[in-house]
Chain A
């Protein structure tokens, strides 16, 4: 992995180790949370996908039915009926309203259609039972209108689903990227740093230990030496005593050595 050999540029101290450990805990918790979010989004995504498939199928059916009902209306009411209907429309009666829905922190745009009452009363083709094609084909025109309104409903629903689909797709990709980044980059890096700090600290400890050992050895050797010296001295003393007894004066040198030896006992090194 890319982050395997990387580590943060930190001073290997115990404090830093604590900080790093805290960061690792944070990263782990964040990873778990994001993973959960990604799962939730995926569930939603699948549901929307299922709905889109259903809506698309029904759209094919509805669109076909509506365009065929237009053909029926044209057959009965004559080709000119479309102009009559077209000319008598002032404003669209079916409007689309958009609002946002919150799914696991992702804002999904939703579209709903509604009939504008102001526009609906504007023309005969908008008012529910119209007089268009009174003499021939009025029913077909009404049926055609109903079929097309249904088609618009399906279209609006599909548009809403498609937009949510795209938004969710984007959100899922971002979340997954974050999850992966946490899992594969941030966490290994922190772990590496922690192990690095731990290694450094261990090293320091070992060095200390070694030094202590070394000093202990030195001390031991020194004590040995002193003991040996003391022994020598004792022997010399003994020899001097013997010599004194024999009347040979080597006392001055011997006294000096004893006095120095007694005084400097503490400052061996």
Chain B
């Protein structure tokens, strides 16, 4: 099965795979993180980062640095790399790369819609959007007053259009609906991405389906935990779970009725990969749960680099960069707020 890919993969995608593997070596290592954790000020962090690939993006920053500036510049580097890859990509890799950004696109759409509902300035909102999730007609989102208009006027031209089929029923755009809309969209996006990867077949399907399943399961667990004690009903909660993954369908049934974290833990202990995650955290520590999930995700993403001739590396690379930016943000926040004791709480070493 893999043999066939080896024959033809490099014709179109060999160059980009080489690039992404080259970029991978630019990710910060454990030694870098150790150095960064020793820093006393944000300027020290900047100094350390100038020795890495982030150097050109940070070197011209004036001295009173802020955490947001660092995060912004690091995101800029990610966006530049992504754009570079997207320009070089041919079908179907270019579609695959675009799929990666749909998550941010959904976030941006939701942000603009929420802002518009509260009568904020559109230009101000556009500045706050994630650069990876920008699309041409995003500014015209502001005119929409209800779901139907939103779909008809703007989103029908975007790749997100098919995802709206599920939530087109709800008429009003109020705050509750928006958050549900975001998650419905994301669910549809994950399912679509999953199908797309299966269609690609081969090692890509194998690796990506594993990663996406994990993503879907993590979402299911998080939605469950975060919706405990809210107005979200069990049926609504059930509807937000993606229809694939290790937990589908029996795990979802169990999660849908969970009323507290311990029940979630009970439900998850039947699944060996998640049992190990839950066994590592003690009772009542949700921050640790997030870190454990991130660590597991990073582990799976890193594994994708072990195989060749598949698209998983692109997804993995973007995700690892995002995790790295999160790490940098955490370290900078800890340094800026003088909380160095907690630096190691949330940093996930990538390699």
Which residues from chain A sit less than 8 Å from chain B, CB to CB? 64, 67-68, 71-72, 74-76, 78-80, 83-84, 87-90, 123-124, 129-140
Expressed in whole angstroms, the minimum distance between the Cβ of A26 and any Cβ of chain B is 61
**Which 9 interchain pairs have the tightest Cβ spacing?**
A138-B226, A71-B333, A131-B179, A87-B115, A83-B128, A124-B175, A129-B230, A87-B114, A76-B290
Given contacts A71-B334, A123-B175, contact A135 B115 (CB under 8 A): no
Expressed in whole angstroms, the minimum distance between the Cβ of A114 and any Cβ of chain B is 23
**Closest residue of chain B to A125, judged by CB?**
B175
Distance A130 CA – B287 CA, assembled complex (angstroms): 18
Q: Is the CB of B179 within 8 A of A132?
A: yes
> Across the interface, which residues of B come within 8 angstroms of A132, CB to CB?
179
**Of residues 210 to 231 in B, which have CB atoms within 8 Å of A's CB atoms?**
219, 222-223, 225-227, 229-231
6 contacts between A and B (CB under 8 A): A68-B333, A71-B329, A83-B128, A135-B222, A135-B223, A139-B225
Tell me, yes or no, whether B167 is within 8 Å of chain A by CB: no
Which residues from chain B sit less than 8 Å from chain A, CB to CB? 67-68, 71, 75, 107, 110-111, 114-115, 118, 120, 125, 128, 130, 175-176, 178-180, 182-183, 186, 219, 222-223, 225-227, 229-232, 240, 286-287, 290, 326, 329-330, 333-334, 337-339, 342, 346
Expressed in whole angstroms, the minimum distance between the Cβ of B320 and any Cβ of chain A is 15
Distance A135 CA – B183 CA, assembled complex (angstroms): 7
> Across the interface, which residues of A come within 8 angstroms of B183, CB to CB?
134-135
Identify 6 new A-B residue pairs, CB closer than 8 A, beyond the known A71-B333, A134-B179, A138-B225. Answer: A72-B346, A80-B107, A83-B111, A133-B226, A137-B226, A139-B225
Q: Is the CB of A139 within 8 A of B226?
A: yes
The residue from B179, B227, B333, B339 contacting A74, defined by CB atoms under 8 A apart: B333
Q: Is the CB of A134 within 8 A of B114?
A: no
Given contacts A68-B337, A72-B287, A74-B333, contact A134 B125 (CB under 8 A): no
> Across the interface, which residues of B come within 8 angstroms of A80, CB to CB?
107, 111, 128, 130
Expressed in whole angstroms, the minimum distance between the Cβ of A147 and any Cβ of chain B is 13
Expressed in whole angstroms, the minimum distance between the Cβ of A145 and any Cβ of chain B is 13
